[in-house]
Homo-oligomer: A and B are copies of this chain.
């Protein structure tokens, strides 16, 4: 990333280039917003504030699924379908472990071979280093930058480590869970807390021998989802099957998302949900920064460690320990 030299571009230059849809300047602006240098941060803040009136017009789509579910292949096929409709598609990948695996899991454009060669598509992994508590705060800014550059479908992909799904769920309009039909009529276990976030589930690799199992899985999921209350959105999550390699069911996924958009737009949920997400972003970011400020003190970190040890040994109750920290601030 170092060769981007984000510092040498002025805010006004980036502003007009992004509005023109200049991909290279979009990439530079994302790098700028990810930078930890205070001067870069200030520039990124100014740029984003100026671009703000030009954001918001996309559909923001979160996609999650365990490794092996065929996420890259699905996004490749889905993205190609969307660009075939003339839509500009951006893929942002949230990978909390990207520091360790850089270049292997993410950043590797060969993961989405067809889409990465498509002029209407923009693919960008976003690292999450140093964002204590917020796996993907910077991804929210990247979404806004992509929107300003005219992207109409923003896919935020998460590999599903730690709290990344919750973070992504909080920044998208529609949350899609990809799931594999298991061997026999068993399903591959779902990670705790995921299913209830989903606005839609797609059983992947529904082709060949697997097609029957995929349909069985579809029925099982539909039953399970019916156990839940109708979500606030008023949208009853749907379960579809798809084969990315055979390009089957991909159009139906898009149709589902469009229907979701129509339903929730006319009810007013869509806009209200986004407003709430903005406020959540504000509050979470305030707390993240506050925590970072607190943990910027070596003395406090040392005190926390000592207190945690005492808690483990049963020598102090946590609420009293917390008071001690606050008194030291």
Q: A residues near B, CB below 8 A? A: 41, 45, 48-49, 52-53, 56, 137, 140-141, 144, 187, 189-193, 195-196, 220-221, 223-224, 226-231, 275, 278-279, 281-282, 285-291, 293-294, 304, 307-308, 311-312, 314-323, 325-326, 329
Contact = CB atoms under 8 A, between A and B. Distances in A.
Nearest to A289: B326
A26 to B, nearest CB: 17
Nearest to A226: B187
A317 B52 contact: yes
A282 B294 contact: no
Interface of A is mostly: helix
Contacts of A314: 52-53, 56
B229 A191 contact: yes
A189 B289 CA distance: 38
B290 A290 contact: yes
Contacts of A317: 45, 48-49, 52, 141, 144
A300 B308 CA distance: 30
Given A189-B229, A285-B321, A293-B329, 20 more contacts: A45-B319, A45-B320, A49-B316, A52-B317, A141-B317, A189-B227, A190-B229, A193-B193, A221-B227, A275-B312, A279-B308, A279-B311, A279-B312, A281-B319, A282-B322, A286-B321, A289-B322, A289-B323, A289-B325, A290-B294
B227 A220 contact: yes
Contacts of A304: 286
Instruction: In the A-B complex, list the 8 residue pairs whose CB atoms are closest, starting with the nearest.
Output: A189-B229, A285-B322, A282-B318, A281-B318, A224-B224, A286-B322, A45-B320, A289-B326
14 contacts: A45-B320, A48-B317, A48-B320, A195-B196, A223-B223, A224-B227, A282-B308, A282-B318, A282-B321, A285-B319, A287-B287, A289-B322, A290-B290, A290-B326
Given A278-B318, A315-B52, A323-B45, A223 B226 contact: no
Given A227-B190, A229-B189, A291 B287 contact: yes
A317 to B, nearest CB: 5
In the complex, the count of this chain's copies comes to 2
A327 B256 CA distance: 44
Given A53-B314, A137-B319, A311-B278, A192 B187 contact: no
Nearest to A322: B285
Contacts of A193: 193, 196
Nearest to A189: B229
A41 B320 CA distance: 9
A189 to B, nearest CB: 3
Contacts of A289: 322-323, 325-326
Contact of A326 (B190, B286, B322): B286
A313 to B, nearest CB: 10
Nearest to A217: B227
Contacts of A190: 227-229
